[in-house]
């Protein structure tokens, strides 16, 4: 922030509502909380309708994918949850990659440089995690939680080699600017058709050509990622040289037992 005083939380609702009114069609209302354990938990607890965005000044107990935690970084990070009507995008795989595309585009607008997407939906820069997404599905709506590292200058030991912030990448912005960009680009991404979403995802793909491990049907598969269709699955060449097809709907990235959210 270069010593600038951050925009006070009292001004967040007006600024975010202005973006929603002028640039968004899927999301129309926003709730700004002073502090909460998790915007995902808050959205579920409040029972808000689809088309609502929940954000907070401070998130103290954020959640990541597969039960991992998202570190409490005080006022250095941005957290929000988009409540998406299921009829907007009924297919979970498409919602996941559309979410990743929208968040990547929002960050790129601020950074003025490309970022990568590590399937299914981690946002990467300099081979480190810059943002993450958590999707909780309900019968009528999906909760899409987003966490972005904004102003952090240092990390705990367990994240020092894996996490990065916008500030560490040379982008010094107020968190309200991050949220405004998120609203614009997330709303637009969810209005793209499947072909456009896949195309936007593939130009940012950060997984093909890397060695990774996956869980499919309770089986661990390790190898080099040869090809990736984000809506349908990926092909991994395992240690024996065999090509293994892993469907998107039933495959998760294996990260070991240590928590990796940041």
| Whether pLDDT at 23 is above 50 | yes
Taking the C-alpha atoms of residue 17 and residue 27, their distance in angstroms, rounded to an integer, is 10
- In the prediction, which pLDDT does 260 show? 34
Which residues does residue 237 pair with via DSSP β-bridges, in sequence order? Answer: 224, 243
pLDDT tens profile 228-239? 999 999 999 998
**pLDDT averaged over every residue in the chain:** 90
pLDDT tens profile 187-234? 999 999 999 999 999 999 999 999 999 999 999 999 999 999 999 999
Strand bridging mode 219-229 / 122-125: unpaired
Beta strands across the sheet bearing 251-253: 243-247, 233-238, 219-229, 211-216, 251-253
- pTM listed for this prediction: 0.90
Q: What residue ranges define each of the domains in the chain, with the CATH number in brackets?
A: 9-202 (3.30.930.10), 211-253 (2.30.30)
């Amino acid at each position: 922030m270069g010593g600038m005083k951050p925009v006070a939380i009292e001004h967040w609702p007006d600024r975010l509502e202005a973006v929603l009114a002028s640039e968004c069609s899927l999301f129309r209302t926003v709730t700004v909380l002073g502090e909460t354990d998790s915007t995902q938990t808050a959205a579920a607890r409040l029972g808000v309708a689809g088309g609502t965005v929940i954000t907070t000044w401070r998130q103290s107990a954020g959640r990541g994918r597969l039960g991992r935690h998202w570190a409490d970084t005080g006022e250095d990070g941005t957290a929000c949850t988009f409540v998406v009507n299921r009829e907007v995008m009924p297919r979970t795989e498409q919602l996941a990659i559309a979410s990743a595309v929208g968040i990547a585009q929002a960050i790129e607008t601020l950074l003025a440089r490309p970022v990568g997407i590590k399937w299914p939906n981690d946002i990467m820069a300099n081979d480190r995690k810059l943002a993450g997404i958590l999707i909780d599905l309900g019968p009528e709506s999906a909760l899409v939680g987003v966490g972005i590292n904004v102003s952090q200058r240092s990390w705990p030991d367990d994240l020092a080699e894996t996490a990065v912030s916008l500030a560490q990448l040379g982008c010094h912005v107020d968190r309200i600017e991050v949220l405004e960009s998120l609203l614009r680009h997330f709303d637009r991404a969810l209005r793209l058709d499947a072909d456009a979403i896949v195309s936007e995802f593939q130009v940012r793909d950060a997984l093909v050509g890397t060695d990774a491990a996956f869980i499919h049907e309770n089986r661990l598969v390790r190898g080099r990622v040869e090809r990736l269709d984000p809506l349908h699955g990926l092909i991994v060449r395992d240690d024996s040289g065999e090509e293994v097809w892993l469907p998107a709907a039933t495959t998760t990235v294996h990260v070991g037992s240590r928590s990796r959210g940041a």
